[in-house]
Chains A and B, each alone.
Chain A
């Protein structure tokens, strides 16, 4: 069971906005540790799309945005496109485990 909880799936029509939650606790997100997000197309390598809660690496479309508040974080995808249909993971650090933790993962489906 993952320390960071994400919904197994979210869906939306092309052009719509979807949001993925990442719920942690007082030993990780709530303890002030930053949240980062990765996109993983099945059978391919994870790709960093958000770092430090809300920053986008060069080349990541501004359709992707994220935020952190309290013990949770969220990733939003606006103007949903067919190519966004894949898996997304949040990641942070946990002081109780003294190590890094990933979310359980969310599959985005474009209807």
Chain B
């Protein structure tokens, strides 16, 4: 059975801290790893990773995929209160739309 695991499930930090969120996956015919941010309502897309070892960056956020270890990390540097959210990781198979999501990491950034 395909599955995605995230750790930690919950994290509390102070503004300015750097955090690393972890995602590991077991998906048949793996094709892609996606990260989303979910605040109060719908998830919003952050990154899609398909190649191992290539870092994707967007401002203070960055992510990298390790296909050998079947894992990915999401780094957030100089955290701000606006980074408080649930961060979801999802793994997709070769057929394009069959995504398996992890339970999410709830990040709380305190002022």
Asked whether A and B interact, the reply is: no
